[in-house]
Amino acid sequence: MSAPLTPKRRRNRNRGIAIVVLTALVVLAFVYLFFFLGRGGSEAVGSSLTDGAVASGETAASADGPAASSLASADSGKSGAASDAGDDAADPEPAYPSYYDPALAARYDAFAQARPDLTEDEVWWMVGCDLDKAPYTDTQAVPDPNSELLLVNKHYYLPDDYVPADLVTIGATQLRQEAAEHLQAMIDAAAAEGLNLWAQSGYRGYGVQVSLYNQYSAADGAEAADTYSARPGYSEHQTGLTCDMNTITDAFGDTAEGRWVAAHAHEYGYIVRYTPENSDVTLYKYEPWHLRYIGTEAAARMHDEGIASFEEYWVKYVK
Ligand SMILES: [Zn+2]
């Protein structure tokens, strides 16, 4: 039997219901918070585990290669230097240029010891294109033979089957189309000043260079031939971007045409590739007639910045 609900008992019953409902809400809130935070927390733990795995994977990858690991340490070195510079403006650490490669540090040191006449910057860019190695030793294939900024010298060679796809005829020879158009513009500009420039020898295939080099080295010996003739694969003439002008004689440099070319070739995207200033880099003697097309932008930059060799330009702006 139930007692009749007095106002007091009704209040007690309502209070009981309220307590049950509040308790249920609190429990639900705890359950909700537990699951929500718990899941969020486990996600956080999971993701940090994942990051950790990635990070340790990166560390492992770096450890595989001395290049990568020393890059990482050099980066921290750089940021250290940057903050030092911020702390003490009077004694700033010099920032490394983009072509400084920490992986080459041991070779920089060795080359600097061997060549105390060089500045630090010269050591960096010269090692950057393997000039610390003997010519024709431990050489590399050109990565992209069709680039107009490719470097071909006694350390970088073209495949023996490389033939440019866009050769066109200019004078009695051939060049790649863009190089030919710019050379024709240069010849026309010289002609407008009464000068007679002509394209003598542009593209030469691998086979032709084999015959030439063999002929020269039979006549003068390989050591002498190496100073004026490239070994097959190592000739810029195989690029289709190089042209010998007029006469292949030292005297060309002292003709009106030779002087005009030295002063104006860069306006047409060409450089005199082998000069007295860069012969210790190119390892060729002065060839005032041998022009190389590198495009107007690069040629203007070399001219404006006084960069003496394409090797230096290549390491600093192309590589
Ligand atoms: Zn030449």
Q: Is 90 strand, coil or helix? A: coil
CB distance 150 to 239 below 8 Å = yes
| Ligand 1 (single-atom ion) residues, CB below 5 Å | 244, 290
Residue 75 lies in a domain: no
Residue count (the chain):
319
Looking at residue 312, its amino acid is E
Helices and strands, counts by H and E, the chain: 11, 8
Q: Is residue 190 part of a domain?
A: yes
Quick one: pLDDT at residue 95? 85
Do the bridges between strand 156-157 and strand 140-141 make them parallel or antiparallel, or are there none, so unpaired?
parallel
CA distance 188 to 196: 9
pLDDT at res. 154: 96
Higher-pLDDT residue of 187, 44: 187
Whether residue 319 is predicted with pLDDT greater than 80 in this model: the reply is: yes
Q: What per-residue confidence (pLDDT) applies to 7? A: 52
What is the pLDDT averaged over residues 300-313? 98
As a whole number of angstroms, the distance between CA 164 and CA 179 comes to 12
- What share of the chain has pLDDT > 70, as a percent? 71
Is pLDDT above 60 for 110?
Answer: yes
278 or 94: which carries more pLDDT confidence? 278
In a domain, 124, yes or no: no
Question: What band does 260 get if pLDDT is binned at 50, 70 and 90?
Answer: very high
Q: Is the pLDDT of residue 73 over 90?
A: no
Report the pLDDT averaged over residues 228-242: 96
Confidence of residue 204 (pLDDT cuts 50, 70, 90): very high
Region 85-89: mean pLDDT is 49
What's the mean pLDDT in 36-56? 38
**What CATH number did the domain enclosing 226 receive?**
3.30.1380.10
Q: How confident is the model at residue 34 (pLDDT cuts 50, 70, 90)?
A: low
| CA distances, 199 to each of 38, 190, 262, 263, 296 (Å) | 79, 13, 15, 18, 19
Please tell me the distance between residue 2's alpha carbon and the centre of ligand 1 in angstroms.
119
* Dihedral in degrees, nearest 10, Cα atoms 107, 109, 113, 118: 90
In a domain, 44, yes or no: no
Q: Model confidence at 69, in pLDDT bands (50, 70, 90)? A: very low
Distance CA 140, CA 145 (A): 12
Q: How much of the chain, in percent, has pLDDT values that exceed 90? A: 70
* 228 CA from centroid of ligand 1 (Å): 9
Provide the mean pLDDT of the chain. Answer: 82
Residues 117-121 have a mean pLDDT of: 97
Which domain does 159 fall in, by range? 137-318
User: Does the residue 222 lie in any domain?
Assistant: yes
Distance from the alpha carbon of residue 82 to the mean position of ligand 1, in angstroms: 46
Whether 292 maps to a domain, the answer reads: yes
- Taking the centre of ligand 1 as the mean of its atom positions, its distance from the CA of residue 274, in whole angstroms, is 9
Give a yes or no: residue 41 inside a domain.
no
Distance 183 CA to ligand 1 centre (A): 15
Q: How far apart are CA 290 and CA 282, in angstroms?
A: 13
Q: How far apart are CA 65 and CA 52, in angstroms?
A: 20
Count the domains in the chain. Answer: 1
The answer on pLDDT for 198 being more than 70 is yes
Q: Is residue 168 part of a domain?
A: yes
Which of 7-11, 90-94, 192-196: highest mean pLDDT?
192-196
Strands (E), 99-216: 140-141, 156-157, 167-170, 173-176, 199-201
pLDDT in tens, 9-24: 555 556 655 565 556 6
